[in-house]
Structure 1
């Protein structure tokens, strides 16, 4: 059975289905899992925590119970959901990624931080959903596409900022 790749993203129909299915499972319990993801992110990459000035001086227990963390992790969920929902509409997906990139660019968050978060996110998905290698590969392919769009758009934003 043929499973052609999207001519723009390189993501196959089966990979899209695997991402949608696993995200459906994970996102349905995101209030629990999202907090844990961000705590792991901050512990694994303390430099990312530095972008969250609201958490300055707070220990991880205080951060874990913070309404600001819950709000951020829900925004993250909505962003990932919008990406997953638009895997078949590459133009819309690109606009969504650009908007998210611009929001983070203003806060001087670089593509490396996204790549670190995506690496951890892939591991997190595997642990929480016990997904198979096909699903893990599908997430890796999807996040690689998203990361590439982020990188390219950040390059453009830097160029505009530098007046080139």
Structure 2
């Protein structure tokens, strides 16, 4: 947490350059809070899903208040904070649980330390999964997709 508190301006710089994805932080290496870009928050419907602290908090104030924000997270009284340089929202601080809600993830079992920014999901096919042909996919998408696929195949036959 101390590294984030000391370098909130650096966090914004890395977010602006696209070099940092959402990340968690907390005391003793335990994920307690998540920092993410405002764009990600907005894209996932955060403004509709959460009541948040009004306005855009200046970066300097985030550094000064970060310890009390994490204390509020631990107490279960924290609302997400939007912050940045000036009036334009650039980043959001929220609890790990709020971040899971934002993404639609499930909560881990009680007592499990889980970093929602590093979750790994099962990607193996289900036992009922089967391969599909391009024609089946086009049929699922409707008549226009079937026509487009047929036109692409005709054009492919015409290319020498």
Q: Give TM class, smaller chain.
A: under 0.3
As a proportion of its length, which structure holds more helix? 1
As a proportion of its length, which structure holds more strand? 2
Higher RCO (C-alpha 8 Å, min separation 6): 1
TM-score (normalised: structure 2): 0.25
Q: Which has the larger radius of gyration?
A: 2
